[in-house]
Amino acid sequence: MLAPFDIACPYCGETIEILVDASAGDQLYIEDCQVCCRPITLSIRIDADGEAQLSATSENDA
């Protein structure tokens, strides 16, 4: 099941929606900002209760 998360782009600061598939377990991938097109490194961690925790950083911070 895809869960929506609102994040602030680390480059332009705009709020964008990211869809996360929590059933896929922990993930690390890059997705471009829908506003400024710069690469955002997304780190998804699934806790023991199955809840997703999302962290978004710029390419230089990863």
* CA 50 to chain centroid: 16
State the residue for tokens 């994040």.
7
pLDDT given for residue 22 in this prediction? 81
How far apart are alpha carbons 62 and 58 in whole angstroms?
6
Give me the tens of pLDDT residue by residue for the chain, a chain 62 residues long: 788 999 999 999 999 999 988 888 899 999 999 999 999 999 999 888 888 899 999 987 75
SS3 state of residue 9: coil
Are 21 and 2 within 8 A, CB to CB?
Answer: yes
pTM: 0.83
pLDDT given for residue 45 in this prediction? 94
